[in-house]
Amino acid sequence: MEYTRLGRLGLRVSRLCLGTMNFGWDLPGTEASEAFAIMDRALEHGINFFDTANVYGWQRGGRPGEGRTEQILGRWFAQGGGRRERVVLATKVYGKMGDWPNESRLSARHIVSACEQSLRRLQTDHIDLYQFHHVDREAPWEEIWQAVETLVAAGKILYVGSSNFAGWHIAQANETARARHLLGLVSEQCRYNLTVRTVELEVLPACEAYGLGVIPWSPLAGGLLGGVLGKLQEGRRAGEEIRGEVDRFRPQLEAYEALCADLGENPADVALAWLLANPVVTAPIIGPRTGDQLDAGLRALEVTLSDETKGRLEEIFPGPGGPGPEAWAW
């Protein structure tokens, strides 16, 4: 396994991050026993970076606040064997965890309360990376950072990251943190893949400027970049949403899968390798539902894309034209 620093930190994490969003959901989610096996196998492979969120694991018709995915991780940590000690644990706060007014978003009250609840579910005494799942336009950064100071001083969180922030949100957050002599945001978890590249305009440049590690979610575009056309030809089923995306991107997907075939590589590995080749990217999040899927995803670490291949990928999935303002101005 390869390791790298998380942004400007001294903290070292694996180049692939284990996403646990599939754990504990209704079918086709991953049951606890299989989730335990996947996490054990991840450690065997050297993956030390695990990502979750307090809202993951809702059931059909279930009430918010169950935090089933965090509970599964907590039961796995409770088995001991150095599991918690070897994991850089990331979870998130923002989503609705109850029906009362202060059980969501980023008020200081909710941040502190949600952290305490996550710690209980995760059966741990601290969270390594506590991420704001979305920007809260109503909560001032002075209030947010006050809650962070409280939790850091108590030893309950070590670092703070963002998710789904705009570039100016990252700048605003870190400048406010600087005024309070705080470390500020250390990472941004954003939707980034060959089909969704708008973060190249301002989010990635902001991350680079402030030394944030970038943790792409949906690196395979919900399965589009995992060889979806070949799988459909084999008779595999796909939901209505993915079929609509296939129709939208079909010419590009045909060219992409043909290129991957010429390279002799799995399309999913090429998509991950393209992200890993970007120096601002720390670790794409992979969300395996089975141990075999986890094993297969490691191949991406061995794939090196030539400049010619990168250029061909740029032709198939053109980006926004680089960072702003050059992308839209002279």
In one letter, which amino acid is 274?
Answer: W
Query: How crowded is residue 16: how many other Cβ atoms within 10 Å of its Cβ?
Result: 26
Active site residue 130: no
Decide: 189 and 157 in contact? Cβ < 8 Å: no
By DSSP bridging, strand 17-19 and strand 285-286 are parallel
Could you give the CA distance from residue 76 to residue 241 in angstroms, rounded to a whole number? 33
By DSSP bridging, strand 157-163 and strand 127-132 are parallel
Decide: 89 and 127 in contact? Cβ < 8 Å: yes
Bond before 251 cis per omega within 30 degrees: no
Q: Which of 56, 94, 192, 256 is catalytic?
A: 56
Helix/strand/coil (H/E/C) assignment for every residue in the chain: CCEEECCCCCCEEECCEEECCCECCCCCCECHHHHHHHHHHHHHHCCCEEECCCCCCCCCCCCCCCCHHHHHHHHHHCCCCCHHHHCEEEEEECCCCCCCCCCCCCCHHHHHHHHHHHHHHHCCCCEEEEEECCCCCCCCHHHHHHHHHHHHHCCCEEEEEEECCCHHHHHHHHHHHHHCCCCCEEEEEEECECCECHHHCCHHHHHHHHCCEEEEECCCHHHCCCCHHHHHHCCCCCCHHHHHHHHHHHHHHHHHHHHHHHHCCCHHHHHHHHHHCCCCECCCEECCCCHHHHHHHHHHHHCCCCHHHHHHHHHHCCCCCCCCCCCCCC
Catalytic residues: 56
